Amino acid sequence: MSAPSELELIARRRAELLARADAQRAALGYYYQQFERPVRQAETAVGLANSLRRSPLFLTGLAAVLLRTPWRKMARVPKLAWRGWRVLQFLRGLKRVEAVKNRTS
């Protein structure tokens, strides 16, 4: 048996690189699918925020609400927002734990 020629070595290396590229392409597609929905939702939220920011009706309504609301009641808003955020994080954690349990079962 003779040693493989340089052309055979190059062909083998090319095949290995193509297989590796296919695996990386598949992994990239998987991660893209995972992030596609959250990115789309973030783009929608940013678009909505920009539209509201430019809306004179929204700004007028916000000013009216802020002027008519006693400041003591407004002090509750950050606390409620933080509490809501913590509940959301807790529920997301539960969802992840359930997903892991379902994968291992």
Tens of each residue's pLDDT in the chain, 105 residues: 567 899 999 999 999 999 999 999 999 999 989 888 888 999 999 998 888 888 888 888 888 888 887 877 777 888 888 898 899 889 888 888 787 777 776
Are residues 58 and 52 in contact, defined by beta-carbon separation less than 8 angstroms? Answer: yes
40/8 same-domain check: yes
43/53 same-domain check: yes
75/54 same-domain check: no
99/48 same-domain check: no
- Report phi then psi at 3, rounded to 5: -70, 150
**Structural domains counted in the chain:** 2
* Residue 68 Cα distances to 25, 59, 61, 74, 80, angstroms: 56, 14, 11, 11, 20
pTM of the model: 0.39
- Report phi then psi at 70, rounded to 5: -65, 140
Provide the residue range defining the domain that includes 85: 70-105
40/11 same-domain check: yes
26/2 same-domain check: yes
